[in-house]
Chain A
Amino acid sequence: MGYEILEHTADVKFKASGDSMEEAFSESVKAFSEIVGGMNGQTTYSIEVESESHEALLFDFMDKLIFLQDVNDVVLSHAEHLEIEELEKGYRLRADIWADNIEDSMSVLDVKGPTYSEMYVRFEDGKWRLQVVLDI
C-alpha cells in the first residue's frame, strides 16, 4: 500500500498500490494531492464515477478530481469510503473526497487533464497496482 511520484519530462506521473483496488485508488488521491500541493482536508465532496473498464474508471476518476478542484476552488487531500462496484457493463466508484479551500497565499498546481499514456490498473504480485500520467 502506498504511492510514488515518478519522473516525467513534461508532465507528472505517479504509481499507487494497495491490497484491494479500492485501496490503490484511494492512494492515487494522496498522490494527486501531493502533486497539486494539498493539505489535511476540511470539507468533503461525495463523488460517483461509472466507466466501462478499469482503466477508463481510473481516467474518469482523475477527470472527476480535476473537475472538483476547478469548480469548487479547492485543493484535494485524500479519499474516504472509496467503494468500487462491478456492474453488468463496467464499474461504479463512489467516494468521499476531502479538500481545503484555496487561500490567496496558497500555490496550487492547475492540472489540465488525465491521459491514457502509460496508464495501467492490474493485479500483480498479490497487489492492485496502477499508474497515471497527468497533463499539467
Chain B
Amino acid sequence: MASSGSARHINVKRVHSQSFSMELNKISDNIYEIPQEGQMKKPARVYANEKLLNEIKGDDTLEQIKNVATLPGLEKYSIVMPDGHQGYGFPIGGVAAVNKEQGVISPGGIGYDINCGIRVLKTDLSYEEVRGKEQQLANILYNKIPCGLGKGGYIDTDRDDLEEILEKGAEWMLENGHAKESDIKRCEENGRLPGNPEKISEDAKKRGRNQVGSLGSGNHFLEIQRVGEIYNEEKAEAYGLEEDQVVVMIHSGSRGLGHQTCTNYLRKFEKEYPEIVDKIPDKELIYAPMQDDLAQDYKEAMYAAANYAWANRQAITQGVRECLDRIFDESVETELLYDVCHNIAKEETHEVDGEEKELLVHRKGATRAMPAGRPEVPEVYRDVGQPVLIPGSMGTASYILSGGQKSLEISFGSTAHGAGRLMSRSQAKQDYWGEDVQDELKRDQIFVKAASGSTIAEEAPGVYKDIDEVIKVSDALGIGNKVAKMRPVVNIKG
C-alpha cells in the first residue's frame, strides 16, 4: 500500500494481522491515523494508548474504520474510541459524522439496539446506610425489574400507549405519572426526538408491546454503586455527587422494538440499493443517501425507537424507586443525574475547517460528550459541561466524566462508552465458573444476582478491557474529563 507521508507524522508503524497490513501513523500521544487511500473519502483515526491499540489490532476494528471512511459525505475522518472492538459494518466505539445534505445514514452506524444508553440516578443514601442490605436489595431489584426474555415490562402498555411512547418518549412517561419533571430535564434531548411511529413496522411494535421497563440480557444491567474518588470537586458539586454517596446506574436500550427496526431497515436498504451493496466491502455497512425518502423514513423510525428506549429506562427508574421505598420505608430521595445514548445518530452543528456545518453524527458504542456552553447540554449543567456516563464491567469501576473542550475539535463531541469486550462468551464460560466469580465479588462486598451462573461467567470482569485505561485516554485527550469514579455494590443482570 502507498504511504502518504506528512510532516506531522512523527512515527510510522505497520500493522500486520492475518489478512491485511496497513499504514498507521502516530499523530500524537493517543492519536493514530490510517491515511486516506483506495475508496476511502477521508482518513481513519484511532484514539488509544499503545496497550489499547494492541488490543484493537487483535480483531478487524482497523479494517472496519477504513470501511467507514468510505461513506459518502464523511467529514474529517472516521474514528474509533479507546474501547473500540469489531462490530457489524461499523466497529463498536465508532464515530462517523456525515454531511446532513450530501451524506448518508447507515443503520450499522447506530446498531441493532437503537438508543442503547446509560442513566445514573442519584440518591441521598450513603454507603453506610446500604451496608448489610445488599442481598435484600439484589433480591428485590431482581424480582421487580424484568430481566432476560419473556418476563414482560415494569409498566403495562397497550397498543395506543405504545404509539404515544414512540412519538413522545420520556414525555409520555411524565404525562402518565411515571416520571418527575426533573427526570425529563436531565435527559439527553429531554427524552424525546422527532420520531414518527408510522415508520416503525407492525412486527417491531408487536415486539415492543410488552417490554417497557425491562433490562434485556447480554451486557445490560442495573447496578447500585457508591461514589469513590472525586477527581474534580467543582464539577462533582455541580453534578450533585459526593464521596460514599449511593447512585444507581441503568444500562438498557430500545429492546425488541429497536432491534426489529434496525433489522427491517437493513433489509429495506439492501433491497432498495443493490448497486450500493455491490460496492461496499461489508453488507452491514449498507446506507441510504440522506436526500432519499427511505433515509428520512429510517431517521424518523430510529428517533421513534430512541423515544421507546427513553421510556424504557424511565420505567426501570420507577421500578428502582419502588424497590428503594420498600427497603428504606419511603425515606429515600432520588434525582436523575443524566441519561445519555451511546447507539444513535444525531443532527448536530459542528465546525469543520473553520466552517459551521450541519452534520449527522453516528455514534455506535460512543457517548456524546459536549463541553460547557453547547446548547445540547441541559441548562443545569451548561456552565460545567455535559455529564458523560461510562459503565465498567460487572465488578469493576464505572466513571462519570464531563464533556471536554477538545471533543468538539477532534471527536465531534464524543468519547468512549464502556470497557469493551475482549473474550468470547464461550471462552469466558470455559475460563470462569459463575459461582466462583460471584463468591469472589462477594468477598469484595459486591453482590451479583443474575438469571444463571453462566450469565455471570460470561460477564466476568476479566472478559472486558481495562476501563481505567479507556478513561485515561479520554481524559488525556481532553474529550471527556474525569469527575468521579463509582464502585459497584449490587449488580443485577438478565
Contact = CB atoms under 8 A, between A and B. Distances in A.
B112 interface: yes
B425 interface: yes
Contact of A136 (B85, B209, B217): B217
B65 to A, nearest CB: 16
Contacts of A66: 259
B112 A110 contact: no
Interface residues of B, number: 45
Contacts of B207: 67, 70-71
Nearest to B216: A110
B150 A114 contact: no
Interface in A34-84: 36, 52, 56, 59-60, 63, 66-67, 69-71, 73-75
Given A9-B59, A113-B260, A107 B451 contact: yes
B113 A112 contact: yes
Interface string B250-281: 00000010011011001100110000000000
Nearest to A72: B150
Interface in A72-125: 73-75, 101-102, 104, 106-110, 112-117
A7 B424 contact: yes
A113 B271 contact: no
Contacts of A19: none
- Counting chain B CB atoms within 10 Å of each CB, the highest count among A59, A110, A113, A116 belongs to A110
Contact of B150 (A5, A7, A108): A108
Nearest to A135: B112
Nearest to A104: B151
Contact of A9 (B86, B148, B266, B455): B86
Contacts of B427: 7
A75 B270 CA distance: 29
Contacts of A9: 59, 85-86, 421-424
Contacts of B218: 109-110, 112, 136
B262 A70 contact: no
A110 B260 contact: no
A109 B260 contact: no
Contacts of A117: 88, 282, 284
B16 interface: no
B452 interface: yes
Contacts of A109: 148-149, 217-218
Contacts of A69: 149-150
A123 to B, nearest CB: 21
B374 interface: no
B283 interface: yes
Interface string B201-235: 00100110110000011100000000000000000
B365 to A, nearest CB: 10
Contacts of A116: 88, 266, 282-284
Given A67-B207, A71-B206, A10 B421 contact: yes
B150 A73 contact: yes
B395 interface: no
A75 B149 contact: yes
Contacts of A52: 271
Contacts of A6: 426
A73 to B, nearest CB: 4
B182 to A, nearest CB: 31
B73 interface: no
A60 B149 contact: no
Contacts of B112: 112-113, 135
Given A108-B150, A110-B149, A10 B260 contact: no
B85 A10 contact: yes
Nearest to B92: A10
Contacts of A8: 424-426
B487 to A, nearest CB: 25
Interface string B95-130: 000000000000000001100000000000000000
A132 to B, nearest CB: 12
Nearest to A62: B263
B267 A60 contact: yes
B87 interface: yes
Given A70-B207, A70-B256, A112-B259, A107 B452 contact: yes
B197 interface: no
Nearest to B425: A12
Contacts of A74: 150
A32 to B, nearest CB: 13
Q: When A and B form their complex, which 6 residue pairs have the shortest distance between CB atoms, in order from nearest? A: A107-B451, A102-B150, A73-B150, A108-B149, A112-B259, A110-B217
14 contacts: A5-B426, A7-B426, A8-B424, A66-B259, A69-B149, A71-B207, A71-B209, A73-B149, A101-B150, A102-B150, A106-B150, A110-B494, A116-B88, A116-B284
Given A8-B426, A110-B149, A110-B216, 15 more contacts: A5-B426, A8-B425, A9-B423, A56-B270, A66-B259, A71-B206, A73-B150, A75-B150, A109-B149, A109-B217, A112-B112, A112-B259, A115-B284, A116-B88, A136-B218
